[in-house]
Amino acid sequence: MQHELGGAAAVHEEIVHLVRELMTGDRPNEGTPTFAQHSVLSFIARNAGCRATQIADTFGVHRSTVSRQVRVCVESGWIRAESGPVRNGHPLCITDMGESVLAEADRLRRAEVEARTRSWSDDEVADFARLLHRFRLSPTAPRSTTTSHPTETVGDDSRA
């Protein structure tokens, strides 16, 4: 039985559902990146020569999580690891195939948003975008006393 939630609880519930859908929704077709791989590809495309440790720090996830995504992207031919000191990790660059895959993934994600908002007015779409932006940039309560969470990061852009 589903019960009505109001205020912040309702917002939280919708965010949880959206994140779950983005992270675990329909599996992409062969040759299409998952949401996590899309995020990694997008970051590397914007930050050529970055290392997995930089991605982990920017995304706030464990290095092993990024390493798994990077490994799949390398095996798929979407990124390549350049030579460099192993101690610091290898510099990562997106390949031509990776650029194509990323462009197609961006197109598919935009098409999904367009399909979901097709019945909305232009004002509703603009309001939704404005409110999401405002929510994303709002200050958050600290998660711990030793960690700060900036509202903007090197990883911010309109792609995953």
Sequential pLDDT tens for the chain (160 residues): 455 667 888 888 988 888 887 776 665 677 789 888 999 999 999 999 999 999 999 999 999 999 999 999 999 999 999 887 666 678 999 999 999 999 999 998 899 899 999 999 999 999 999 999 999 898 876 655 444 444 444 454 555 5
pLDDT of residue 147: 42
Alpha helices by DSSP H, the chain: 7-24, 35-46, 52-59, 63-75, 96-116, 122-137
Query: Quick one: pLDDT at residue 26?
Result: 62
CATH 3.20.20.70 matches 33-137: no
Domains of the chain, by residue range, sit at 33-137
Which whole-number Å values give the CA distances from 76 to 41, 56, 65, 97, 101, in the listed order?
12, 20, 17, 9, 10
Tens of pLDDT along 87-122?
667 899 999 999 999 999 999 889 989 999 999 999
Q: The whole model's pTM is what?
A: 0.74
